[in-house]
Structure 1
Amino acid sequence: MSLAIPLKPRQPWLRVVWISVTAVVVLAFWSIDINWSRLIDVPAEIARYLWLMFSDPNWDKLPEALWQTWRSIQMAWLGTVLGILIATPLSFLAARGYGAPPVRGVLRIGFALIRAVPEIIIAIVILSVTGLTPLTGALALAVNGVGTLGKWGYESVEGIDQGPVEAVRAAGGGTMHALRWGVWPQSAPAFFSFWLYRFEINVRSSAVLGLIGVGGIGDMLTSYTQYREWSTVGVLLIVVVVVTMSIDAASAAIRRRITEGAPVRDLDRQ
Protein backbone atom coordinates (compact mmCIF):
# COMPACT_ATOMS: atom_id res chain seq x y z
CA MET A 1 0.00 0.00 0.00
CA SER A 2 1.57 3.29 -1.11
CA LEU A 3 1.15 6.50 0.85
CA ALA A 4 0.27 9.59 -1.11
CA ILE A 5 2.43 12.55 -0.14
CA PRO A 6 0.36 15.74 -0.17
CA LEU A 7 1.54 18.39 -2.57
CA LYS A 8 3.16 21.47 -1.18
CA PRO A 9 0.59 24.27 -1.26
CA ARG A 10 1.37 26.94 -3.80
CA GLN A 11 1.65 30.49 -2.56
CA PRO A 12 2.16 32.71 -5.61
CA TRP A 13 1.54 35.85 -3.55
CA LEU A 14 4.57 35.04 -1.39
CA ARG A 15 6.79 34.88 -4.47
CA VAL A 16 5.42 38.23 -5.62
CA VAL A 17 6.24 39.75 -2.23
CA TRP A 18 9.83 38.50 -2.30
CA ILE A 19 10.34 39.74 -5.87
CA SER A 20 8.94 43.14 -4.91
CA VAL A 21 11.16 43.44 -1.85
CA THR A 22 14.23 42.46 -3.87
CA ALA A 23 13.36 45.00 -6.57
CA VAL A 24 12.96 47.77 -3.98
CA VAL A 25 16.34 46.97 -2.40
CA VAL A 26 18.11 46.92 -5.77
CA LEU A 27 16.48 50.18 -6.87
CA ALA A 28 17.40 51.80 -3.54
CA PHE A 29 21.08 50.99 -4.06
CA TRP A 30 21.05 52.22 -7.67
CA SER A 31 19.09 55.43 -6.96
CA ILE A 32 21.32 56.67 -4.12
CA ASP A 33 24.34 58.62 -5.27
CA ILE A 34 27.08 56.74 -3.44
CA ASN A 35 30.74 57.07 -4.24
CA TRP A 36 31.66 53.41 -3.79
CA SER A 37 35.34 54.07 -4.43
CA ARG A 38 35.58 56.05 -1.18
CA LEU A 39 34.67 52.97 0.83
CA ILE A 40 38.25 51.84 0.42
CA ASP A 41 39.44 54.88 2.38
CA VAL A 42 36.96 54.43 5.26
CA PRO A 43 39.10 52.11 7.47
CA ALA A 44 42.12 54.40 7.21
CA GLU A 45 40.03 57.50 8.00
CA ILE A 46 38.45 55.80 11.03
CA ALA A 47 41.88 54.81 12.32
CA ARG A 48 43.16 58.38 11.82
CA TYR A 49 40.31 59.97 13.78
CA LEU A 50 40.56 57.38 16.55
CA TRP A 51 44.25 58.26 16.87
CA LEU A 52 43.43 61.99 17.03
CA MET A 53 40.82 61.43 19.73
CA PHE A 54 42.46 58.86 21.97
CA SER A 55 46.23 59.21 21.49
CA ASP A 56 46.40 62.22 23.84
CA PRO A 57 42.99 62.96 25.44
CA ASN A 58 42.51 66.39 27.00
CA TRP A 59 41.73 65.35 30.56
CA ASP A 60 41.40 69.00 31.63
CA LYS A 61 37.85 68.86 30.24
CA LEU A 62 36.90 65.86 32.37
CA PRO A 63 35.13 67.85 35.17
CA GLU A 64 33.00 69.73 32.65
CA ALA A 65 32.26 66.50 30.78
CA LEU A 66 31.08 64.83 33.99
CA TRP A 67 28.88 67.80 34.83
CA GLN A 68 27.27 67.87 31.39
CA THR A 69 26.77 64.10 31.56
CA TRP A 70 25.00 64.56 34.89
CA ARG A 71 22.71 67.10 33.22
CA SER A 72 21.93 64.55 30.52
CA ILE A 73 21.09 61.97 33.17
CA GLN A 74 18.81 64.48 34.91
CA MET A 75 17.11 65.14 31.58
CA ALA A 76 16.64 61.40 31.02
CA TRP A 77 15.33 60.82 34.55
CA LEU A 78 12.78 63.64 34.36
CA GLY A 79 11.61 62.47 30.95
CA THR A 80 11.23 58.92 32.24
CA VAL A 81 9.22 59.94 35.31
CA LEU A 82 6.89 62.16 33.29
CA GLY A 83 6.43 59.40 30.72
CA ILE A 84 5.58 56.88 33.44
CA LEU A 85 3.03 59.17 35.09
CA ILE A 86 1.22 59.73 31.79
CA ALA A 87 1.59 56.33 30.12
CA THR A 88 0.71 54.03 33.04
CA PRO A 89 -2.97 54.99 33.48
CA LEU A 90 -3.40 55.27 29.70
CA SER A 91 -1.99 51.77 29.21
CA PHE A 92 -4.72 50.33 31.45
CA LEU A 93 -7.39 52.17 29.45
CA ALA A 94 -5.89 50.81 26.21
CA ALA A 95 -6.04 47.18 27.41
CA ARG A 96 -8.92 44.94 26.37
CA GLY A 97 -11.50 44.52 29.10
CA TYR A 98 -10.68 47.72 30.97
CA GLY A 99 -11.27 50.56 28.53
CA ALA A 100 -14.15 51.37 26.21
CA PRO A 101 -13.50 50.23 22.62
CA PRO A 102 -13.47 53.79 21.16
CA VAL A 103 -11.07 54.98 23.87
CA ARG A 104 -8.93 51.89 23.42
CA GLY A 105 -8.69 52.42 19.68
CA VAL A 106 -7.79 56.10 19.97
CA LEU A 107 -5.09 55.41 22.56
CA ARG A 108 -3.50 52.62 20.54
CA ILE A 109 -3.40 54.79 17.43
CA GLY A 110 -1.92 57.60 19.52
CA PHE A 111 0.79 55.33 20.91
CA ALA A 112 1.67 54.19 17.39
CA LEU A 113 1.83 57.75 16.05
CA ILE A 114 4.09 58.86 18.90
CA ARG A 115 6.46 55.93 18.35
CA ALA A 116 6.69 56.83 14.67
CA VAL A 117 8.21 60.26 15.45
CA PRO A 118 11.86 60.37 16.67
CA GLU A 119 12.67 62.23 19.87
CA ILE A 120 14.73 64.82 18.04
CA ILE A 121 11.75 65.81 15.84
CA ILE A 122 9.54 66.11 18.94
CA ALA A 123 12.21 68.25 20.59
CA ILE A 124 12.37 70.58 17.57
CA VAL A 125 8.61 71.11 17.81
CA ILE A 126 8.70 71.68 21.57
CA LEU A 127 11.66 74.08 21.55
CA SER A 128 9.55 76.64 19.69
CA VAL A 129 7.65 77.02 22.99
CA THR A 130 10.20 76.22 25.70
CA GLY A 131 13.41 77.31 23.95
CA LEU A 132 16.81 75.59 23.98
CA THR A 133 16.76 74.30 27.56
CA PRO A 134 17.16 70.87 29.18
CA LEU A 135 13.41 70.97 29.84
CA THR A 136 12.87 70.71 26.09
CA GLY A 137 14.84 67.49 25.98
CA ALA A 138 13.05 66.08 29.03
CA LEU A 139 9.64 66.82 27.53
CA ALA A 140 10.63 65.25 24.21
CA LEU A 141 11.80 62.10 26.00
CA ALA A 142 8.58 62.05 28.03
CA VAL A 143 6.36 62.33 24.96
CA ASN A 144 8.24 59.61 23.12
CA GLY A 145 8.22 57.47 26.26
CA VAL A 146 4.44 57.61 26.41
CA GLY A 147 4.28 55.82 23.07
CA THR A 148 6.57 52.96 24.05
CA LEU A 149 5.54 52.61 27.69
CA GLY A 150 1.86 52.73 26.75
CA LYS A 151 2.26 49.90 24.23
CA TRP A 152 4.37 47.76 26.55
CA GLY A 153 1.91 48.42 29.36
CA TYR A 154 -1.30 47.35 27.69
CA GLU A 155 0.39 44.30 26.16
CA SER A 156 1.56 43.30 29.65
CA VAL A 157 -1.93 43.77 31.10
CA GLU A 158 -3.49 41.67 28.35
CA GLY A 159 -0.97 38.88 28.89
CA ILE A 160 -1.68 38.19 32.57
CA ASP A 161 -3.58 35.23 34.01
CA GLN A 162 -7.27 36.12 34.12
CA GLY A 163 -7.99 33.84 37.09
CA PRO A 164 -7.34 36.43 39.84
CA VAL A 165 -9.24 39.06 37.87
CA GLU A 166 -12.28 36.81 37.54
CA ALA A 167 -12.08 36.00 41.25
CA VAL A 168 -12.17 39.70 42.15
CA ARG A 169 -15.13 40.29 39.87
CA ALA A 170 -16.93 37.23 41.24
CA ALA A 171 -16.52 38.68 44.74
CA GLY A 172 -18.35 41.81 43.63
CA GLY A 173 -15.37 44.00 42.77
CA GLY A 174 -15.51 46.59 40.02
CA THR A 175 -12.97 47.53 37.38
CA MET A 176 -10.77 49.47 39.78
CA HIS A 177 -10.73 46.58 42.25
CA ALA A 178 -9.85 44.17 39.44
CA LEU A 179 -6.98 46.39 38.37
CA ARG A 180 -5.71 46.84 41.92
CA TRP A 181 -5.96 43.27 43.17
CA GLY A 182 -6.06 41.15 40.02
CA VAL A 183 -3.96 42.95 37.40
CA TRP A 184 -1.34 45.02 39.18
CA PRO A 185 0.20 42.27 41.37
CA GLN A 186 0.86 40.21 38.22
CA SER A 187 1.95 43.01 35.88
CA ALA A 188 3.97 45.11 38.36
CA PRO A 189 7.32 43.32 37.72
CA ALA A 190 6.91 43.83 33.97
CA PHE A 191 6.01 47.50 34.47
CA PHE A 192 9.05 48.10 36.70
CA SER A 193 11.26 46.38 34.14
CA PHE A 194 9.82 48.51 31.33
CA TRP A 195 10.40 51.69 33.31
CA LEU A 196 14.05 50.88 33.94
CA TYR A 197 14.60 49.90 30.33
CA ARG A 198 13.02 53.15 29.18
CA PHE A 199 15.40 55.05 31.45
CA GLU A 200 18.32 53.31 29.75
CA ILE A 201 16.96 54.37 26.36
CA ASN A 202 16.47 57.95 27.55
CA VAL A 203 20.05 58.18 28.82
CA ARG A 204 21.35 57.38 25.35
CA SER A 205 18.75 59.55 23.63
CA SER A 206 19.56 62.54 25.85
CA ALA A 207 23.05 62.65 24.35
CA VAL A 208 21.54 62.72 20.86
CA LEU A 209 19.14 65.52 21.81
CA GLY A 210 22.15 67.62 22.77
CA LEU A 211 22.91 67.89 19.05
CA ILE A 212 20.14 70.49 18.68
CA GLY A 213 21.41 72.53 21.62
CA VAL A 214 19.17 71.53 24.54
CA GLY A 215 22.15 71.01 26.81
CA GLY A 216 23.95 68.04 28.25
CA ILE A 217 26.88 66.03 26.99
CA GLY A 218 25.53 65.95 23.43
CA ASP A 219 25.63 69.74 23.20
CA MET A 220 29.21 69.79 24.42
CA LEU A 221 30.16 66.98 22.04
CA THR A 222 28.68 68.85 19.07
CA SER A 223 30.51 72.06 19.91
CA TYR A 224 33.96 70.49 20.21
CA THR A 225 33.41 68.35 17.11
CA GLN A 226 32.59 71.43 15.05
CA TYR A 227 35.82 73.08 16.25
CA ARG A 228 37.71 69.83 15.54
CA GLU A 229 39.18 69.62 19.02
CA TRP A 230 39.57 65.86 18.76
CA SER A 231 41.48 65.41 22.01
CA THR A 232 38.51 66.83 23.90
CA VAL A 233 36.06 64.81 21.81
CA GLY A 234 37.93 61.67 22.86
CA VAL A 235 37.46 62.49 26.55
CA LEU A 236 33.76 63.15 26.00
CA LEU A 237 33.30 59.83 24.22
CA ILE A 238 35.10 57.99 27.01
CA VAL A 239 32.80 59.57 29.60
CA VAL A 240 29.68 58.82 27.55
CA VAL A 241 30.63 55.18 27.01
CA VAL A 242 31.63 54.53 30.64
CA VAL A 243 28.58 56.23 32.15
CA THR A 244 26.14 54.63 29.70
CA MET A 245 27.57 51.14 30.20
CA SER A 246 27.51 51.59 33.99
CA ILE A 247 23.86 52.65 33.96
CA ASP A 248 22.96 49.79 31.62
CA ALA A 249 24.70 47.25 33.85
CA ALA A 250 23.06 48.56 37.03
CA SER A 251 19.63 48.74 35.38
CA ALA A 252 19.97 45.22 33.96
CA ALA A 253 20.87 43.85 37.40
CA ILE A 254 17.87 45.56 38.98
CA ARG A 255 15.53 44.37 36.22
CA ARG A 256 16.83 40.82 36.60
CA ARG A 257 16.23 40.96 40.34
CA ILE A 258 12.68 42.25 39.79
CA THR A 259 11.72 39.66 37.18
CA GLU A 260 13.53 36.64 38.66
CA GLY A 261 13.28 37.48 42.36
CA ALA A 262 15.88 37.04 45.04
CA PRO A 263 18.30 34.11 44.66
CA VAL A 264 17.27 31.01 46.61
CA ARG A 265 19.88 29.60 48.93
CA ASP A 266 20.33 25.85 49.12
CA LEU A 267 19.93 25.05 52.84
CA ASP A 268 21.15 21.48 52.34
CA ARG A 269 24.66 22.74 51.55
CA GLN A 270 24.86 24.87 54.69
Structure 2
Amino acid sequence: MSAVPASPTSSAGRPPSGGPSRGRPSGAPTGARPAPALPPRPSRIGPTLAALAAGAVVLLAVADLDIAWGSLGEIPGRVATYLGLLFAEPNWEKLPRALFETWRSVSMAWLGALGCVALSIPLGILAAHGVGPAWVRYPLRGLFAVIRAVPEVVIALILLTVTGLTPFTGALALAIAGIGTQGKWVYETVESVQEGASEAVRAAGGSTAEVARWALWPAAAPSLLSFALYRFEINIRTSAVLGLIGAGGIGTMLSNYTNYREWDTVGMLLIVVVAITMLIDLVSGDLRRRIMEGARPRAVDRTP
Protein backbone atom coordinates (compact mmCIF):
# COMPACT_ATOMS: atom_id res chain seq x y z
CA MET A 1 0.00 0.00 0.00
CA SER A 2 1.19 3.57 -0.82
CA ALA A 3 1.83 6.04 1.97
CA VAL A 4 -0.73 8.83 2.63
CA PRO A 5 0.82 12.35 2.16
CA ALA A 6 1.19 14.38 5.31
CA SER A 7 -1.15 17.31 5.97
CA PRO A 8 0.34 20.80 5.66
CA THR A 9 -0.90 21.58 9.12
CA SER A 10 1.07 20.72 12.15
CA SER A 11 -0.04 18.34 14.80
CA ALA A 12 -1.58 21.22 16.79
CA GLY A 13 -3.75 22.21 13.79
CA ARG A 14 -1.93 25.52 13.16
CA PRO A 15 -1.24 26.66 9.65
CA PRO A 16 2.36 27.13 8.64
CA SER A 17 4.07 30.41 9.24
CA GLY A 18 3.65 31.51 5.63
CA GLY A 19 -0.10 30.81 5.39
CA PRO A 20 -2.97 33.20 6.06
CA SER A 21 -3.75 34.02 9.66
CA ARG A 22 -7.02 32.98 11.23
CA GLY A 23 -9.93 35.42 10.95
CA ARG A 24 -8.31 37.74 8.30
CA PRO A 25 -9.46 37.60 4.68
CA SER A 26 -6.77 36.73 2.26
CA GLY A 27 -7.30 39.94 0.21
CA ALA A 28 -7.25 42.42 3.18
CA PRO A 29 -4.21 44.75 3.38
CA THR A 30 -1.90 44.02 6.22
CA GLY A 31 -1.12 47.72 7.02
CA ALA A 32 -4.69 49.19 7.23
CA ARG A 33 -5.07 52.15 9.67
CA PRO A 34 -8.18 52.96 11.68
CA ALA A 35 -10.38 55.85 10.46
CA PRO A 36 -9.34 59.23 11.97
CA ALA A 37 -11.56 60.58 14.68
CA LEU A 38 -13.72 63.61 13.86
CA PRO A 39 -12.64 66.93 15.43
CA PRO A 40 -14.72 68.14 18.34
CA ARG A 41 -17.56 70.50 17.56
CA PRO A 42 -16.51 74.14 18.10
CA SER A 43 -17.99 75.83 21.10
CA ARG A 44 -20.66 78.47 20.47
CA ILE A 45 -20.46 79.96 23.92
CA GLY A 46 -18.14 82.84 22.94
CA PRO A 47 -20.09 84.04 19.87
CA THR A 48 -23.38 83.67 21.76
CA LEU A 49 -22.14 85.78 24.67
CA ALA A 50 -20.77 88.39 22.26
CA ALA A 51 -24.13 88.59 20.45
CA LEU A 52 -25.99 88.93 23.75
CA ALA A 53 -23.63 91.69 24.88
CA ALA A 54 -24.07 93.58 21.59
CA GLY A 55 -27.84 93.26 21.86
CA ALA A 56 -27.77 94.53 25.45
CA VAL A 57 -25.72 97.57 24.38
CA VAL A 58 -28.22 98.35 21.60
CA LEU A 59 -31.17 98.05 23.98
CA LEU A 60 -29.50 100.30 26.57
CA ALA A 61 -28.68 102.89 23.91
CA VAL A 62 -32.27 102.92 22.63
CA ALA A 63 -33.68 103.12 26.15
CA ASP A 64 -31.44 106.10 26.97
CA LEU A 65 -32.57 108.10 23.90
CA ASP A 66 -36.02 108.76 25.36
CA ILE A 67 -37.82 108.06 22.08
CA ALA A 68 -41.53 108.87 21.85
CA TRP A 69 -42.59 105.62 20.25
CA GLY A 70 -46.20 106.74 19.89
CA SER A 71 -45.26 109.58 17.54
CA LEU A 72 -43.17 107.50 15.14
CA GLY A 73 -46.18 106.97 12.89
CA GLU A 74 -46.50 110.74 12.40
CA ILE A 75 -42.96 111.16 11.03
CA PRO A 76 -43.74 110.29 7.36
CA GLY A 77 -46.54 112.84 7.28
CA ARG A 78 -44.33 115.54 8.78
CA VAL A 79 -41.55 114.78 6.32
CA ALA A 80 -43.99 115.09 3.42
CA THR A 81 -45.25 118.43 4.79
CA TYR A 82 -41.76 119.92 5.05
CA LEU A 83 -40.76 118.59 1.64
CA GLY A 84 -43.74 120.47 0.24
CA LEU A 85 -42.68 123.66 2.05
CA LEU A 86 -39.12 123.31 0.76
CA PHE A 87 -39.59 122.34 -2.86
CA ALA A 88 -43.16 123.16 -3.87
CA GLU A 89 -42.34 126.80 -4.73
CA PRO A 90 -38.61 127.55 -4.22
CA ASN A 91 -37.67 131.21 -3.87
CA TRP A 92 -35.27 131.89 -6.75
CA GLU A 93 -34.85 135.58 -5.89
CA LYS A 94 -31.86 134.77 -3.68
CA LEU A 95 -30.17 132.62 -6.36
CA PRO A 96 -27.35 135.11 -7.22
CA ARG A 97 -26.34 135.39 -3.58
CA ALA A 98 -26.63 131.61 -3.18
CA LEU A 99 -24.25 131.08 -6.11
CA PHE A 100 -21.79 133.58 -4.63
CA GLU A 101 -21.86 131.85 -1.23
CA THR A 102 -21.48 128.48 -2.95
CA TRP A 103 -18.40 129.80 -4.71
CA ARG A 104 -16.98 130.81 -1.33
CA SER A 105 -17.64 127.30 -0.01
CA VAL A 106 -15.92 125.76 -3.04
CA SER A 107 -12.96 128.12 -2.60
CA MET A 108 -12.79 127.17 1.07
CA ALA A 109 -12.80 123.47 0.17
CA TRP A 110 -10.17 123.93 -2.55
CA LEU A 111 -7.77 125.89 -0.33
CA GLY A 112 -8.25 123.33 2.44
CA ALA A 113 -7.49 120.48 0.05
CA LEU A 114 -4.35 122.20 -1.27
CA GLY A 115 -3.04 122.84 2.23
CA CYS A 116 -3.85 119.31 3.30
CA VAL A 117 -2.12 117.70 0.30
CA ALA A 118 0.92 119.98 0.49
CA LEU A 119 1.55 118.93 4.10
CA SER A 120 0.35 115.33 4.10
CA ILE A 121 2.37 114.06 1.10
CA PRO A 122 5.87 114.78 2.49
CA LEU A 123 4.84 113.83 6.03
CA GLY A 124 3.12 110.66 4.82
CA ILE A 125 6.16 109.61 2.81
CA LEU A 126 8.36 110.05 5.89
CA ALA A 127 5.89 107.94 7.89
CA ALA A 128 6.16 105.04 5.43
CA HIS A 129 8.09 101.93 6.42
CA GLY A 130 11.52 101.86 4.85
CA VAL A 131 11.68 105.62 4.21
CA GLY A 132 11.80 107.51 7.50
CA PRO A 133 13.57 106.27 10.63
CA ALA A 134 11.52 104.79 13.46
CA TRP A 135 11.89 107.87 15.68
CA VAL A 136 10.23 109.93 12.91
CA ARG A 137 7.82 107.33 11.55
CA TYR A 138 5.95 106.41 14.71
CA PRO A 139 5.40 109.96 16.05
CA LEU A 140 4.01 110.98 12.66
CA ARG A 141 1.61 108.04 12.61
CA GLY A 142 0.51 108.94 16.13
CA LEU A 143 -0.06 112.54 15.04
CA PHE A 144 -2.20 111.36 12.11
CA ALA A 145 -4.27 109.19 14.46
CA VAL A 146 -4.85 112.10 16.88
CA ILE A 147 -5.95 114.42 14.06
CA ARG A 148 -8.34 111.79 12.70
CA ALA A 149 -9.96 111.51 16.12
CA VAL A 150 -10.95 115.21 16.16
CA PRO A 151 -13.89 116.22 13.89
CA GLU A 152 -13.60 119.18 11.54
CA VAL A 153 -16.29 121.09 13.44
CA VAL A 154 -14.33 120.87 16.71
CA ILE A 155 -11.16 122.11 14.98
CA ALA A 156 -13.11 125.01 13.46
CA LEU A 157 -14.57 125.93 16.84
CA ILE A 158 -11.06 126.04 18.33
CA LEU A 159 -9.79 128.17 15.45
CA LEU A 160 -12.71 130.60 15.72
CA THR A 161 -11.15 132.10 18.84
CA VAL A 162 -7.97 132.90 16.89
CA THR A 163 -9.01 133.71 13.31
CA GLY A 164 -12.62 134.82 13.82
CA LEU A 165 -15.74 134.11 11.75
CA THR A 166 -14.18 134.09 8.28
CA PRO A 167 -14.00 131.58 5.41
CA PHE A 168 -10.26 131.34 6.13
CA THR A 169 -11.18 129.61 9.39
CA GLY A 170 -13.08 126.96 7.47
CA ALA A 171 -10.25 126.46 4.97
CA LEU A 172 -7.71 126.14 7.77
CA ALA A 173 -9.91 123.67 9.66
CA LEU A 174 -10.37 121.55 6.52
CA ALA A 175 -6.61 121.57 5.86
CA ILE A 176 -5.72 120.49 9.40
CA ALA A 177 -8.48 117.87 9.66
CA GLY A 178 -7.59 116.34 6.30
CA ILE A 179 -3.94 115.74 7.21
CA GLY A 180 -4.85 112.80 9.44
CA THR A 181 -6.69 110.82 6.78
CA GLN A 182 -4.59 111.97 3.83
CA GLY A 183 -1.33 111.18 5.62
CA LYS A 184 -2.53 107.65 6.36
CA TRP A 185 -3.47 107.16 2.70
CA VAL A 186 -0.03 108.41 1.63
CA TYR A 187 2.11 106.11 3.75
CA GLU A 188 -0.09 103.09 3.00
CA THR A 189 0.19 103.81 -0.73
CA VAL A 190 3.97 104.26 -0.52
CA GLU A 191 4.35 101.01 1.41
CA SER A 192 2.44 99.14 -1.30
CA VAL A 193 4.88 100.26 -4.02
CA GLN A 194 7.27 97.61 -5.34
CA GLU A 195 10.72 97.85 -3.74
CA GLY A 196 12.74 97.21 -6.89
CA ALA A 197 13.10 100.87 -7.88
CA SER A 198 13.90 101.91 -4.31
CA GLU A 199 16.62 99.29 -4.03
CA ALA A 200 18.10 100.38 -7.36
CA VAL A 201 18.30 104.03 -6.26
CA ARG A 202 19.86 103.03 -2.92
CA ALA A 203 22.35 100.77 -4.69
CA ALA A 204 23.39 103.73 -6.82
CA GLY A 205 24.14 105.71 -3.66
CA GLY A 206 20.89 107.69 -3.50
CA SER A 207 19.77 109.37 -0.27
CA THR A 208 16.33 109.09 1.33
CA ALA A 209 15.15 112.22 -0.48
CA GLU A 210 16.39 110.86 -3.82
CA VAL A 211 14.68 107.52 -3.18
CA ALA A 212 11.41 109.34 -2.48
CA ARG A 213 11.80 111.55 -5.57
CA TRP A 214 12.99 109.07 -8.19
CA ALA A 215 11.60 105.73 -6.98
CA LEU A 216 8.55 106.20 -4.74
CA TRP A 217 6.92 109.32 -6.18
CA PRO A 218 6.66 108.18 -9.85
CA ALA A 219 5.03 104.90 -8.77
CA ALA A 220 2.68 106.39 -6.15
CA ALA A 221 1.81 109.69 -7.87
CA PRO A 222 -1.36 108.50 -9.70
CA SER A 223 -2.90 107.10 -6.52
CA LEU A 224 -1.88 110.12 -4.44
CA LEU A 225 -3.35 112.57 -6.97
CA SER A 226 -6.54 110.54 -7.04
CA PHE A 227 -6.73 110.71 -3.23
CA ALA A 228 -6.16 114.48 -3.41
CA LEU A 229 -9.17 114.93 -5.68
CA TYR A 230 -11.22 112.71 -3.39
CA ARG A 231 -10.15 114.93 -0.48
CA PHE A 232 -11.52 117.92 -2.39
CA GLU A 233 -14.85 116.14 -2.84
CA ILE A 234 -15.03 115.48 0.89
CA ASN A 235 -14.22 119.11 1.66
CA ILE A 236 -17.07 120.29 -0.57
CA ARG A 237 -19.58 118.47 1.66
CA THR A 238 -17.84 119.40 4.89
CA SER A 239 -17.61 123.11 4.01
CA ALA A 240 -21.41 123.36 4.08
CA VAL A 241 -21.40 121.91 7.60
CA LEU A 242 -18.70 124.33 8.75
CA GLY A 243 -20.84 127.18 7.48
CA LEU A 244 -23.51 126.25 10.03
CA ILE A 245 -21.17 127.34 12.84
CA GLY A 246 -20.36 130.66 11.18
CA ALA A 247 -17.34 129.80 9.01
CA GLY A 248 -18.97 131.38 5.96
CA GLY A 249 -20.19 130.02 2.66
CA ILE A 250 -23.47 128.42 1.74
CA GLY A 251 -23.74 126.75 5.14
CA THR A 252 -24.08 130.09 6.92
CA MET A 253 -26.82 131.12 4.53
CA LEU A 254 -28.62 127.83 5.11
CA SER A 255 -28.41 128.28 8.87
CA ASN A 256 -29.76 131.83 8.79
CA TYR A 257 -32.78 131.10 6.60
CA THR A 258 -33.56 127.92 8.53
CA ASN A 259 -33.65 129.88 11.78
CA TYR A 260 -36.12 132.35 10.24
CA ARG A 261 -38.26 129.45 8.89
CA GLU A 262 -38.11 130.73 5.30
CA TRP A 263 -38.55 127.26 3.87
CA ASP A 264 -38.92 128.32 0.23
CA THR A 265 -35.46 129.93 0.32
CA VAL A 266 -34.01 126.95 2.18
CA GLY A 267 -35.36 124.66 -0.54
CA MET A 268 -33.67 126.75 -3.23
CA LEU A 269 -30.39 126.63 -1.32
CA LEU A 270 -30.60 122.85 -0.99
CA ILE A 271 -31.20 122.50 -4.72
CA VAL A 272 -28.11 124.64 -5.43
CA VAL A 273 -25.96 122.67 -2.98
CA VAL A 274 -27.01 119.30 -4.41
CA ALA A 275 -26.57 120.43 -8.03
CA ILE A 276 -23.11 121.96 -7.47
CA THR A 277 -21.93 118.98 -5.43
CA MET A 278 -23.07 116.47 -8.06
CA LEU A 279 -21.41 118.50 -10.83
CA ILE A 280 -18.10 118.69 -8.96
CA ASP A 281 -18.27 114.96 -8.16
CA LEU A 282 -18.84 114.19 -11.84
CA VAL A 283 -15.87 116.27 -13.02
CA SER A 284 -13.61 115.07 -10.20
CA GLY A 285 -14.55 111.44 -10.81
CA ASP A 286 -13.67 111.75 -14.50
CA LEU A 287 -10.32 113.34 -13.63
CA ARG A 288 -9.55 110.57 -11.15
CA ARG A 289 -10.39 107.94 -13.76
CA ARG A 290 -8.07 109.59 -16.30
CA ILE A 291 -5.27 109.76 -13.74
CA MET A 292 -5.59 106.09 -12.83
CA GLU A 293 -6.48 104.59 -16.21
CA GLY A 294 -5.36 107.13 -18.80
CA ALA A 295 -7.38 108.60 -21.62
CA ARG A 296 -9.84 106.37 -23.42
CA PRO A 297 -8.69 105.19 -26.85
CA ARG A 298 -10.47 106.84 -29.74
CA ALA A 299 -11.73 104.98 -32.75
CA VAL A 300 -9.81 105.82 -35.93
CA ASP A 301 -11.77 106.21 -39.14
CA ARG A 302 -9.82 104.28 -41.80
CA THR A 303 -12.28 104.80 -44.64
CA PRO A 304 -10.66 106.38 -47.68
User: TM-score under structure 1 normalisation?
Assistant: 0.95
- Using the TM superposition, give the Cα deviation of residue 49 of structure 1 relative to its aligned residue in structure 2, in angstroms: 0.7
1:190 aligns with 2:234: no
Q: What is the Cα deviation at residue 268 of structure 1?
A: 10
Deviates more, 1:163-172 or 1:142-151: 163-172
Q: Does 1:118 align with 2:151?
A: yes
Aligned residue for 2:90, secondary structure, equals coil
Instruction: Considering fraction of residues, name the structure with more helix.
Output: 1
Distance 1:199 1:246 in 2: 13
Tell whether 2:258 aligns with 1:237: no
- Number of aligned residue pairs: 270
Secondary structure in 2 matching 1:212:
coil
Say if 2:300 is the partner of 1:252. Answer: no
**Equivalent position to 1:91, from 114, 124, 129:** 124
Between the aligned partners of 1:259 and 1:46, the Cα distance in structure 2 is: 42
Q: Within 1, Cα distance between the matches of 2:133 and 2:50?
A: 37
Asked which structure has the greater CA Rg, the reply is 2
Query: SS of the residue aligned with 2:165?
Result: coil
Any gaps of 5 or more consecutive residues in structure 1? none
For 1:39, which of 49, 57, 72 is the aligned residue? Answer: 72
SS of the counterpart of 1:178?
Answer: helix
How far, CA to CA, are the matches of 1:266 and 1:69 in structure 2? 39
* Superposition pairs of residues 63-82 of structure 1, within 5 angstroms: 63-82=96-115
Query: How many angstroms does 1:152 deviate by?
Result: 0.5
Q: Which residue of 2 aligns with 1:24?
A: 57
Distance 1:58 1:162, change over 3 A: same
Q: For the structure 1 residues 22 and 64, does the alpha-carbon distance in structure 2 shift closer, same or farther, using more than 3 Å as the test?
A: same
Q: Percent identity?
A: 56
Greater RCO (Cα-Cα under 8 Å, separation 6 or more): 1
Q: Distance in 2 between matches of 1:150 and 1:269?
A: 49
Structure 2 partner of 1:154: 187
Q: Which runs of 4+ in 1 moved over 6 A?
A: 266-270
CA change 1:239–1:268 in 2 (3 A) is closer
Offset of residue 19 of structure 1: 2.8
Distance 2:37 2:178 in 1: 56
What does residue 138 of structure 1 align with? Answer: 171
Give the whole-Å Cα distance in 1 for the aligned partners of 2:158 and 2:151. Answer: 11
Q: Cα distance, 1:126 vs. partner?
A: 0.3
Unaligned runs of 5+ in 2: 1-33
Two-structure CA RMSD over aligned residues (Å): 1.8
CA distance in 2, matches of 1:74, 1:187: 27
In 2: Cα distance, 1:52 partner to 1:42 partner: 15
CA distance in 2, matches of 1:242, 1:269: 41
| Cα distance in 2, alignment partners of residues 6 and 105 from structure 1 | 44
Question: What letter corresponds to residue 187 of structure 1 in structure 2?
Answer: A
Residue 53 of structure 2 aligns to a residue in which SS? Answer: helix
Moved more, 178-187 or 62-71: 178-187
Q: How big is the shift at 1:20? A: 2.1
Aligned-partner Cα distance in 2 for 1:154–1:204:
25
Once the two structures are superposed, residues 193-221 of structure 1 have per-residue CA deviations (whole angstroms, 9 ceiling, x without a partner) of 01000000001100000001111000000
- Alignment deviations for residues 140-160 of structure 1 (CA, whole Å, 9 cap, x no partner): 000111111101000000011
Q: Tell me the distance in 2 between the aligned counterparts of 1:33 and 1:225.
A: 26
Quickly say closer, same or farther: Cα 1:232–1:99, change in 2 above 3 A: same
Q: Write the distance in 1 (CA, Å) between the matches of 2:126 and 2:61.
A: 41
Provide the TM-score with structure 2 as the length reference: 0.84
Q: Name the amino acid aligned to 1:201.
A: I
| Structure 2 counterpart of 1:223 | 256
Deviation at 1:3, TM superposition (A): 5.7
